[in-house]
Chains A and B, each alone.
Chain A
Amino acid sequence: MKAAAFAYARATSVVNALELLAAHGDRAKVLSGGQSLMPAMNLRLLSPDILVDIGGLAELRGIAVRGNVLVVGALTRHVDMLRSPEIALHAPLLRDAVAHVAHPAIRNRGTIGGSLAHADPASELPPCVVALDATVVIRGPAGERRIAATEFFKGIYETALSPDELLVAIELPVAGQGSTFFFQEYARRHGDYAIVGLAARAVVAVGGFTDLRLGFFAVGDRPLLAAAAGKLVNASVTPALLAEAATALADELDPQEDQQATAAMRRHLAAVLLRRCVAALLARPELEAGAAT
């Protein structure tokens, strides 16, 4: 199991990286942490002609707060997010999610930019940026553009990035007053990809939601920002309403069948997660049982 031969270019700057990508088009792959790319190449599922290694680009590192925006550089590693005080303060959802990503040795190499650009529908960070209403910052030959995270993911391993573009940063609105978060996934073993997962951000006031963003993952070809959440906002959450939201959620899901779960099982687990999430965020354990099914 050895990777096929390829050429290697160590980018010296973002501009240099973009030049290399422009020169090689879709025959090139960007190498960031490599934690998804390298397995695929070792298995010869992918055989790019050239790897453009952006790992040395200091300009893509770092976590900073600019006004009401938390800027996370594309090369920020999972472990950096686990340890970052800024993340803990302003986007603790990311920290909670990263704890579910694979294992320490993987988290020491894997990056947020790599994870988002890879767009595995079962991975943890895409639903987080969707739930957090993040903006993806992209550089290309024509300069910089920004795209809402909700618009970024296009399908299984597909994003709004074109082959000559580079994801350079994520911008997240800092957590406002009353913001609470929930992250949970069902995976067969610790660190495995989720069968179904949910990343949520909520604003809770006087016993109800004034805002609720539910980012489900592994329930379709991309992370899903559930519109069903709207039913629970500015409303008195009762088991009946929760059941209604679950029904609405079911209509939004388009789960795949794989070796771990049928589509029906994914729908079921998503509904369980919805109840458990709402119960946890509102600190009302009785909601977890839901309407008897």
Chain B
Amino acid sequence: MSAPVSVSLRVNGEPIDALVLPRLNLADFLRENLKLTGTHVGCEHGVCGACTVRIDGEIVRSCLMLTVQAQGASVETIEGLSDSGEIADLQAAFRERNALQCGYCTPAMLMTAQDLLKQTLVPDRQTIREHLSGNYCRCTGYQAIVDAVEATARTRAERPA
């Protein structure tokens, strides 16, 4: 019944062919099969947001998606976004503002913040708070994160196109 299924996808630009059990969710596939441990698992029922990755450019909860559903998709993780330099400025802003403590929520928080910054040039603080409202952070109290996202938005807006 629950035989492995073949799946082909791209992860951080690399083509991946794998044979996976249908029940293997994308978060576990990334972490256990591909050793991309920057995607974290916090609740496994879609609430904490720690497993957020990008599928075809849009953020999703990888614990709420089966690996087989990613057939043909392009998956991007924190490792990919870091290596490409896409969020280097956002990461720098997080570092300068100490917008992370234990760091466990951070990869997903960066993913979600970048998602907002791609959609909205200079979001106000409440918009930032609402966009990040599905990403749980127990350490920071959120303000430093909001500050870092706000600062990055301003810097990007001032940057010549």
Contacts and interface: CB of A to CB of B under 8 A. Distances in A.
Q: Do chains A and B touch in the complex (CB under 8 A)?
A: yes
27 contacts: A1-B45, A2-B28, A3-B25, A4-B23, A5-B23, A6-B23, A34-B66, A34-B69, A35-B64, A38-B65, A39-B47, A42-B44, A42-B63, A49-B1, A51-B66, A56-B71, A103-B49, A103-B134, A103-B135, A104-B115, A105-B61, A106-B61, A108-B59, A109-B61, A109-B64, A190-B133, A191-B133
B39 interface: no
Contact of B58 (A49, A55, A56, A79): A79
Nearest to B64: A38
Q: Which among B21, B134, B135 has the greatest number of chain A C-beta atoms within 10 A?
A: B134
Given A2-B23, A3-B23, A5-B22, 6 more contacts: A7-B1, A35-B61, A38-B25, A53-B69, A104-B115, A191-B133
A40 to B, nearest CB: 8
Contacts of A108: 55, 58-60
A43 B112 contact: no
B84 interface: no
B131 interface: yes
Interface string B82-124: 0000000000000000000000000000001001100000000
Nearest to A3: B23
B5 A105 contact: no
Q: Which 8 A-B pairs have the closest CB atoms?
A: A103-B134, A8-B22, A5-B2, A39-B45, A38-B64, A190-B133, A1-B44, A7-B1
Given A5-B1, A51-B22, A106 B68 contact: no
B41 to A, nearest CB: 9
B133 A103 contact: yes
Q: DSSP majority for the B interface?
A: mixed
Contacts of B44: 1-2, 42
Interface string A85-108: 000000000000000001111101
Given A10-B71, A34-B69, A104 B64 contact: no
Interface string A37-49: 0110111000001
Contacts of A41: 23
B64 A39 contact: yes
Interface residues of A, number: 34
B3 interface: yes
Interface residues of B, number: 36
B80 interface: no
A109 B53 CA distance: 12
A125 interface: no
Given A3-B25, A6-B23, A8-B68, A104 B112 contact: yes
B158 interface: no
Contacts of A7: 1-3, 22
B60 A105 contact: yes
Contacts of B64: 34-35, 38-39, 106, 109
B50 to A, nearest CB: 11
A102 B112 CA distance: 14
Given A10-B71, A39-B46, A39-B64, A104 B131 contact: yes
Given A4-B23, A42-B25, A102 B69 contact: no
A160 B131 CA distance: 35
A102 B46 CA distance: 10
A42 B24 CA distance: 10
A55 B131 CA distance: 25
A189 interface: yes
Contact of A105 (B21, B28, B49): B49
A6 B4 CA distance: 10
Contacts of B65: 34, 38, 109
A175 interface: no
